[in-house]
Amino acid sequence: MPYTPSGGIGTNGSDPIYKVASDFDYQSLALALYHEWIELDLFHWGLATFSDEEFEAYGITGEDRHLLQHMADQEIGHASVVANMLGPSAPKQCTYNYPVSNVREYIDFNQKLTRWAEAGVYGFLPHLNSGPAANMLLQSITVEARQQLIFRQFGGQFPMPEWHTPGIPQSWAWTLLAPYISSCPHNQTRLVWQNFPALHILNQPNPARIDGSAVWGETTGGYANTLSTEGIPEDELCVNATDDELSDCPAAISQNRSIPLSYPGREVFLRWDAPGQLVGPNNSYVTTTSAAEPRFAAWLSQLNVTYTPLLGVSLEHRTAYTIQPNVSTWKNDPAVNGTMFLALTDVDLYVTPYNVSMINPHVAALAVYQAG
């Protein structure tokens, strides 16, 4: 071809074949399809479950709800593309359970689920044997990234505080997703990916509060650590804040809140489950770990995995705490920011974005951390 340098993959003029080329491809795309199916259901479920008045109390207007419906329609296309590349044995849509009881919790669960679904694809996309399949999936996941941004805006959070979106291993994405799948059709495709024990962040930052870092036990539990608004006084909810410049958080294109959700030096208190828990469709998967005693908290965000030591470890109660690190990927770009991932490990293994899955044998528990 003219004006084309030598090298590259798939540039010799041969016809691309848009289907999986290995078992790795199949299991990775099947995982992606599980995410597309739950998003299709979840977006519709919220519109059917909550009234217009409930949405509008959080600043989500009729136009915004039309956008939510449009995002649900997008998932039809995403699921169709991935299913076609997988063939007749592609996973079918399942039934689900959602850890939310109101609009604010619903929006938070959406922005966390779309983040780990997005990050899960980024983790395996460069490793697929089928370049054409990767190209198709890339065109879907870039839209999902925009959906995650929209849900942050719906929740009154700054849309994209991080400079780089991390990729996570497939087993991390499946670990975070599986507990929210109740049952699947008979003969559903079974995934090979590992399910890690849950990590509970006892003082998980709560974006629904004016001061989101001054919290304890304000989640609906589980791997997502979705925020809970239960018991929070009305005057402490940021949606009711009267200071429009500093602390309010209705849905908006951008919100610049002066009180950070988290910060370097913050003590983060943790409790983790023992392995052997039944999770996923029909409780047919079992959580496992090959890690020894947890010794480190692994903060996966931006381009790095940063480790901090676990302190006050009680193996009897499976509790510990750690200190949020003060590290930057770039100057003025805190590495710990946005909707990110926190794991407990037994070693501080050096990994980079391309080989981050090498950390899996050392992971004892896993969670989403709401750093910003």
- Write out pLDDT tens, residues 30-65: 999 999 999 999 999 999 999 999 999 999 999 999
Residue whose structure tokens are 């983060």? 268
- Write out pLDDT tens, residues 279-311: 999 999 999 999 999 999 999 999 999 999 999
pLDDT of residue 191: 98
pLDDT of residue 251: 94
pLDDT of residue 243: 75
- The answer on pLDDT for 156 being more than 80 is yes
Average pLDDT over residues 87-115: 97
Extract the tokens encoding 4. Answer: 């084309």
Average pLDDT over residues 142-146: 97
Average pLDDT over residues 251-263: 91
pLDDT of residue 42: 98
In sequence order, what DSSP letters do the residues of 25-73 get, joined into one string?
A: HHHHHHHHHHHHHHHHHHHHHHHHHS-HHHHHTTT--HHHHHHHHHHHH
* Average pLDDT of the residues of the chain: 96
pTM of the model: 0.96
Return the SS3 of 193. coil
pLDDT of residue 245: 67
Locate CATH 1.20.1260.10 in the chain.
23-167+175-183
**Taking a C-beta distance cutoff of 8 angstroms, is the pair 201, 158 a contact?**
no
pLDDT of residue 317: 98
What's at 65, amino acid-wise? R
- The answer on pLDDT for 74 being more than 80 is yes
Quote the percentage of the chain above a pLDDT of 70.
99
Average pLDDT over residues 85-109: 97
Q: At what angle do helices 131-154 and 23-49 cross, to 10 degrees?
A: 30
- Write out pLDDT tens, residues 202-247: 999 999 999 999 999 999 988 999 999 999 999 999 999 987 667 8
Average pLDDT over residues 171-187: 97
CA angle 45, 50, 56 (to 5 degrees): 125
Report the alpha-carbon distance of residue 262 to residue 8 in Å, rounded: 43
What is the band of 329 on the pLDDT scale with cuts at 50, 70, 90? confident
Q: At what angle do helices 170-177 and 23-49 cross, to 10 degrees?
A: 30
**Taking a C-beta distance cutoff of 8 angstroms, is the pair 287, 234 a contact?**
no
pLDDT of residue 13: 86
In sequence order, what DSSP letters do the residues of 322-368 get, joined into one string?
A: EE----EEETTEESS-SEEEEEEESS-----GGGGGGGGGGEEEEEE
pLDDT of residue 222: 87
CA 305 to chain centre: 16
Report the alpha-carbon distance of residue 202 to residue 340 in Å, rounded: 16
- Greater confidence, 123 or 257? 123
Q: Does domain 23-167+175-183 have CATH number 1.20.1260.10?
A: yes
